[in-house]
Amino acid sequence: MAVYVAWQMAARQTGEAALDFMAANFRVSLGAVLQGRVWTLLTSAISHVEPSHLFVNMLALYVFGRDVLLRIGRVGFVHLYVAGGIVASLGHLAWQVATDSRVAALGASGSVMAIAVVYAALFPRRILLVGFILPLPAALAVLGYIGLDIVGAIGGLGGGVAHAAHLGGAAYGFAYWLVGVRWRSAKAAQ
């Protein structure tokens, strides 16, 4: 929330210095990383400019995050969020290289996708109301969003959405579930 407020304050400042600072330090891009601003791999995952973007990400974090937090604990949850965000940023950088794009990205969506995948793996039959209307099992709903991101990334349906970042976060969430949850649970049961 503090980074969102900083973006809003920067937008109200006279001159470009404040906005330039925010853009340079809270959006991830290949150019930023190559210039040594590697922290943007993480800071972009806590950065939102638009209130609707922040609202949707925080709503999804609340829906998926509560039960995942209870299942994997605080340390695991913070790890999942942070690492999911970094891998999401790396996914965006890979997309930039593959498409020769210069578009920077920001937002918690990659971290939230990591958490959503773990939620869907832990509670695959729980019903979610997609778009507040369509009831679907969590596994199907999350797979549907992943499918939309695959189509968006391959088809170039950007529309201001960092589809490759979402996919990076989803991939990390799946890996975390396989190794951090499923494998450890199976090992503990032995």
Residue 177 confidence (pLDDT) above 80: yes
pLDDT tens figures, 104-131: 999 999 999 999 999 999 999 999 999 8
pLDDT band for 13, please (50, 70, 90 cuts): confident
The answer to whether residues 170 and 114 touch, using CB atoms and an 8 Å cutoff, is yes
**Stronger pLDDT, 138 or 13, i.e. the higher one:** 138
Look up the pTM and report it. 0.92
Gap between the Cα atoms of 87 and 42, Å rounded: 9
- Indicate the Cα dihedral angle 94, 108, 166, 116, nearest 10°: 140
Specify the residue for token string 């829906």. 63
* pLDDT, average across residues 38-43: 97
Catalytic residue among 44, 47, 109, 111: 109
Q: Specify the pLDDT at position 187.
A: 58
pLDDT computed for residue 11 by the predictor: 87
pLDDT, tens digit (0-9, with 9 covering 90-100), for 71-100: 999 999 999 999 999 999 999 999 999 999
Which DSSP string do the residues of 11-52 spell out, in sequence order? HHSSSSHHHHHHHHHHSB-HHHHHTT-TTHHHHGGG---SHH
**E-state strands within the chain:** 127-130, 134-137
Residue located via tokens 């407020």: 5
Known catalytic residue at 109: yes
pLDDT of residue 158: 60
Predicted confidence (pLDDT) at residue 25 exceeds the cutoff of 90? yes
Torsion, Cα 122 176 55 13, to 10 degrees, reads 170
Interatomic CA distance for residues 7 and 47, integer angstroms:
8
CB of 37 closer than 8 Å to CB of 24 = yes
Q: Model confidence at 21, in pLDDT bands (50, 70, 90)?
A: very high
Q: How confident is the model at residue 24 (pLDDT cuts 50, 70, 90)?
A: very high
Please say if 166 is a catalytic residue: yes
Which residue is catalytic, options 48, 53, 92, 166? 166
